[in-house]
Amino acid sequence: MKMNGARIMVEMLKREGVKAVFGYPGGTVIDLYDVLLETDDISHTLVRHEQGAAHAADGYARTTGKVGVCIATSGPGATNLVTGLTNAYMDSVPLVAITGQVPTRLIGKDSFQEADTTGITMPITKHNFLVTHVEELTTVVRQAFHIASTGRPGPVLIDLPKDVQGAETEFVYPEKVDIHSYKPTYRGHARQTILAARAIRDAQRPLFYLGGGVISSGATAELFEVAEKCNIPVTYTLMGKGSFPETHPLALGWLGMHGTYSANKAVMECDLLIAVGARFDDRVTGNTATFARKARIIHIDIDPAEIGKNVKADYPIVGDAKKVIHEINKKLEPSKKDEWLATIKKWKNEYSPPRRNGEILLPSRVVEEVYRLTRGKAVVVTDVGQHQMWAAQIYKVDHPRSWASSGGLGTMGYGLPAAVGAQTGNPSSTVVLFSGDGSILMKVQELVTAVNYRLPIKIFVLNNCYLGMVRQWQECFYDGRYSCTHLENPDLAGVARAFGAEALTVEKAEELEGAVKKAMSVKDRPTLVDCRVASDENVLPFVPPGKSLDEMILG
């Protein structure tokens, strides 16, 4: 059966189980969009900016576990994907980006809307392809999805010239994928798993430190079993929220610069740190010279490049978290850690961030009310900034893939399009977005997308009229010189209504409950709640950059 390249691409997407794509058409992808028009098996969401397409595919992937797919035209369309691809790359999110390219005869001639897309995206993708012959397209697509979703997940880009989309060839589906240079290690070294099990057995103060790799590998059940069997407390990264139930007594909350007091204290006092699917990034470790200085370290990760990159591991294990933890668990017996758990309990009760009284609306109060009224069962998406930290501290996530937030890149503007992707992938779930007045305006045009597709996203903007996190740093380290961080904002509720969304403004704490209930009741469009919160509230605890985790600013 002969097909042209555009039809082959759509057929391959079907074969890969793709149900939703996010994109923005342009001259070099007209052929592809022409085929999508007659396709009922794949829904296409028309975003209003290509960066929004990448973030929407990202939010879809994080909350469904499926590969997210986005489409953009050549030149500016492709370059607009760059931030979203970098975001997905740093957070290990499986995406396949399809970009149009000028005809092969015009490549390298500075043609209209030409950019070296593969060259530009090489550092920010797990792999990329420039397809120059239609005969190779089926193999390329098959390999792209395989690479994106296996091993350490990540984004893969397919650059597809316009003439290749129009060229015809026999369609032959490659049943098997065999890439000689790509063979991820899934099973941990047998001797290392034995040594790790012994270390866990002998430890008096063990601590689990979980990252996003636990969720990617589907290892949450295995981790839960080991933690309960051996009474091991658990902390996690921003990407690891949902890897262990946050309402469980063994959960300490997340660690690092704005992590919980008990989690940071536990890291500094444990005698064995069991890191699973985490990369010891600087926002987690603080000063690496003092990080977990009393502990031996087990580091389990499917990416060998992460082992020992930032912190030396005493027991390095390269492999899939699910498989490795399963093997370690078989070698463990139930154990009690009464003294260690009593110390943990003391730390939990020893400190809570200071709260102000009065009618002023506090940002933490907004998150608490949303958590209370959703009973912790929403899919939560955040933008980046202070609101992100409050959401991570307060909104407890008990299930994997119920949290999507930009971690490694820290991308303001991620939240709204990611929420579009999350709601598209989870149509029966309540999707809540926490954003800031700085972040929401970065990608506010995607509110049109949410309106057009009747996505009932609940958007809570913690509006403090500042770039809040930068303001906090200026207060703490620059003697309160607030250079270019005060924001003169529009009426955000009015802006949302102009886009066709439901909108409310909350200025007092007493108005909050009614506004949240109203937002939850809207089922046919997004609702934006502009929460006018205190402008000078800081996120606490706070570990200053370069300091040790036990040097927290507490008030």
Residue (of 262, 237, 463, 476) closest to 363 by Cα position: 463
Q: Which of 11, 16, 50, 502 is catalytic?
A: 50
**Residue bearing tokens 């506004």:** 515
Distance separating alpha carbons of residues 52 and 449, to the nearest angstrom = 10
Q: Which of 19, 113, 445, 507 is catalytic?
A: 113
**Residues 229, 225, 233: CA angle, nearest 5 degrees:** 65
Q: Is 113 a catalytic residue?
A: yes
CA distances from 107 to 75, 103, 113, 118, 132 (A): 12, 7, 11, 12, 10
Residue (of 83, 147, 79, 72) closest to 119 by Cα position: 79
Q: Which of 268, 412, 469, 552 is catalytic?
A: 469
Q: Is 469 a catalytic residue?
A: yes
Strands 168-170 and 2-4: antiparallel
Q: Within a 13 Å sphere around the CA of 250, how many CA atoms are in the beta-carbon half? A: 24
Rg (CA), the chain: 24
Sign of CA dihedral 236, 241, 222, 310: negative
Q: Is 327 a catalytic residue?
A: no
The answer to whether the beta carbons of residues 549 and 267 sit under 8 Å apart is yes
The DSSP output letter for 122 is G
Tokens read off for 521 = 């009741």
φ, ψ for residue 419 (rounded to 5)?
A: -65, -35
The answer to whether the beta carbons of residues 367 and 356 sit under 8 Å apart is no
Tokens read off for 22 = 């996010």
* Cα–chain center distance at 331: 33
φ, ψ for residue 449 (rounded to 5)?
A: -60, -45
Q: Which of 112, 183, 345, 477 is catalytic?
A: 112
**Residue bearing tokens 């290392």:** 192
Q: Which residues contact 353 (CB under 8 A, 6 or more apart)?
A: 364, 393, 540, 541, 554, 555
Q: Which of 162, 265, 348, 443 is catalytic?
A: 162
Catalytic machinery residues: 50, 112-113, 162, 469
